């Protein structure tokens, strides 16, 4: 019988069965690099974008190393948002449910927006794996409901977002309460300067790896550009969504105010639309996420919190109504579709003011198709850069110059010689112009 590719990693056989049932056959780049190193107890800094299979890259080896017979917190996994922590915990439950009864390991998801006292009461027997947001975990440590004296592994997921949201201080305090000999796994899309002091403080000779951004944007995504022209964004968005009939469409805007505007406009036109941004309270966010996962909404309008903080399965289309101010987020946004080797479509509505940003994305390797929606029908339109791409060369000069030399109305003897001389003059003039432009 042919061995499953994940068997070569020496992770728990029960986890290989789960991976096989999920339809994941070949490990992603980050999984192939990270899993063996984690099992060798190396500390790692992994720089990779969303949608690369990162969660399983650390969960599979970390859970394989947890000792079922040791009743103590052995691994702590931190995430910047409650939604991401819950998502990681769902993956934890899915994997550990397959373990034999005598090898079961316990875990708790500890996040804000829940009753702290009730959580403390449930922590009588320490979980072997703690997954949650840094603030809530630290609260419970200060309340002496949790002890990390036997913790050997710390995972910091989405570290740059953790830094942006001001949580890296709490992660620092958590790490300071753990044994000196600690395996730390840090994952981040970018490594900002302000993150480096934390890394230097706790990580001695970590293995650094960067998954090439060009390989992290799923290969089966079509990137489509649609010009706004004289239309309103609300009307164009409605036309786009009703023409594509998505399984789930994730629409991005840059601010919670814009999210509200787009979502309300779609709802008024009869589309059942969810909105997701940081302005919602924890209870609302939890309720909306459950409704999205239960497929109650076909359309979700969100800020970049949804690009990095949550995972919505089955997103067939991503629509950018505004380009992100940080262009790295374009990859995070579009990475919400085309996951697990499926195909996806990313549609971006643009205006002339977006030209520079689009050029930068093209330099990063994004290949756009230009299309427009005319009376409900998708049509190919000329590339917006077609004029720029036609650079003048010296080979163009004779043809262009000859068109500018007028043939005399009445032909006189020697006119061919005069025309040739005039043509040579024009050619020299054109060459000087091109040389001047190049210099």
pLDDT one-digit tens code per residue, 240-266 = 999 998 989 999 999 999 999 999 999
* Confidence class for position 403, pLDDT limits 50, 70, 90: very low
Share of the chain above pLDDT 90, in %: 53
The answer to whether the predicted template modeling score (pTM) of the entire model surpasses 0.75 is no
CATH class of 217-387: alpha beta
Question: What is residue 92's predicted lDDT score, i.e. its pLDDT?
Answer: 96
Per-residue pLDDT at 51 exceeds 90:
no
Element at 272 (helix H, strand E): none
Question: What is residue 401's predicted lDDT score, i.e. its pLDDT?
Answer: 43
Give the tokens for residue 78: 């931190």
CATH of 5-214, one of 1.10.150.530, 3.40.50.300, 3.30.310.50, 3.40.920.10: 3.40.50.300
Q: What is the mean pLDDT of the chain?
A: 85
Provide mean pLDDT across the span 149-176: 91
Question: What is residue 169's predicted lDDT score, i.e. its pLDDT?
Answer: 92
Question: What is residue 4's predicted lDDT score, i.e. its pLDDT?
Answer: 85
Give the burial string for 280-305 (b: 16+ CB within 10 Å, else e).
beeeebbebbeebbeeebbbbbbbbb
Question: What is residue 218's predicted lDDT score, i.e. its pLDDT?
Answer: 47
Using CA atoms, how far apart are residues 145 and 256, in angstroms rounded to an integer? 36
Provide mean pLDDT across the span 306-311: 63
- Region of poorest pLDDT, from 113-117, 335-339, 393-397: 393-397
Question: What is residue 178's predicted lDDT score, i.e. its pLDDT?
Answer: 95
Per-residue pLDDT at 373 exceeds 90:
yes
Sequence ranges of the domains in the chain:
5-214, 217-387, 396-438
Torsion of CA 134, 140, 143, 147, to 10 degrees: -100
Within this chain, domains 5-214 and 217-387 share the same CATH topology: yes
Question: What is residue 439's predicted lDDT score, i.e. its pLDDT?
Answer: 54
Question: What is residue 410's predicted lDDT score, i.e. its pLDDT?
Answer: 54
Across 8-12, 231-235, 288-292, the highest mean pLDDT is recorded for 231-235
Closest by CA to 172, choosing from 148, 191, 193, 199, is 199
Angle at CA 341, nearest 5°, toward 219 and 277? 85
Provide mean pLDDT across the span 407-435: 66
* Confidence class for position 174, pLDDT limits 50, 70, 90: very high
């Amino acid at each position: 019988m042919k061995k499953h590719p994940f068997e070569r990693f020496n992770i728990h056989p029960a986890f290989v069965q789960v991976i096989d049932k999920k339809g994941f056959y070949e490990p992603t780049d980050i999984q192939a690099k990270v899993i063996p190193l984690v099992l060798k107890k190396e500390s790692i800094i992994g720089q990779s974008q969303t949608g690369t299979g990162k969660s399983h890259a650390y969960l599979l080896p970390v859970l394989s190393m947890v000792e079922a017979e040791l009743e103590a917190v052995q691994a702590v996994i931190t995430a910047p948002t409650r939604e991401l922590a819950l998502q990681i915990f769902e993956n934890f439950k899915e994997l550990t449910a397959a373990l034999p009864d005598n090898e079961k390991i316990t875990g708790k998801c500890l996040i804000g927006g829940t009753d702290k006292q009730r959580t403390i009461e449930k922590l009588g027997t320490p979980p072997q794996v703690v997954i949650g947001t840094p603030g809530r975990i630290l609260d419970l440590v200060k309340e002496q409901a949790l002890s990390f004296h036997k913790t050997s592994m710390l995972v910091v997921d989405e570290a740059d977002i953790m830094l942006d949201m001001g949580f890296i201080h709490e992660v620092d305090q958590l790490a300071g309460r753990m044994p000196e000999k600690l395996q730390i796994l840090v994952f981040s899309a970018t490594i900002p300067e302000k993150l480096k002091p934390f890394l230097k403080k706790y990580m001695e000779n970590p293995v650094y790896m960067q998954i090439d951004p060009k390989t992290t944007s799923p290969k089966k995504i079509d990137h489509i550009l649609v010009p706004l022209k004289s239309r309103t964004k609300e009307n164009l968005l409605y036309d786009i969504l009703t023409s594509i009939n998505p399984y789930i469409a994730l629409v991005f805007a840059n601010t919670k105010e814009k999210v509200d505007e787009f979502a309300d406009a779609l709802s008024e036109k009869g589309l059942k639309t969810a909105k997701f941004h940081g302005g919602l309270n924890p209870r609302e966010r939890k309720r909306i996420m459950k409704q999205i996962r239960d497929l109650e909404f076909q359309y979700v309008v969100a800020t970049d919190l949804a690009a990095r903080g949550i995972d919505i399965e089955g997103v067939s289309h991503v629509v950018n109504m505004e380009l992100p101010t940080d262009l790295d987020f374009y990859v995070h946004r579009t990475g919400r579709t085309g996951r697990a080797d499926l195909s996806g479509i990313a549609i971006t509505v643009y205006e002339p003011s977006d030209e520079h940003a689009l050029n930068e994305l093209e330099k990063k390797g994004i290949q756009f198709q230009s299309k427009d929606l005319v009376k409900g029908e998708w049509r190919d339109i000329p590339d917006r850069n077609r004029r720029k791409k036609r650079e003048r060369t010296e080979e163009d000069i004779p043809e262009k110059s000859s068109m500018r030399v007028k043939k005399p109305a009445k032909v006189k003897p020697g006119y061919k010689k005069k025309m040739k001389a005039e043509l040579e003059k024009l050619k020299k003039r054109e060459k000087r112009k091109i040389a001047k432009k190049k210099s």
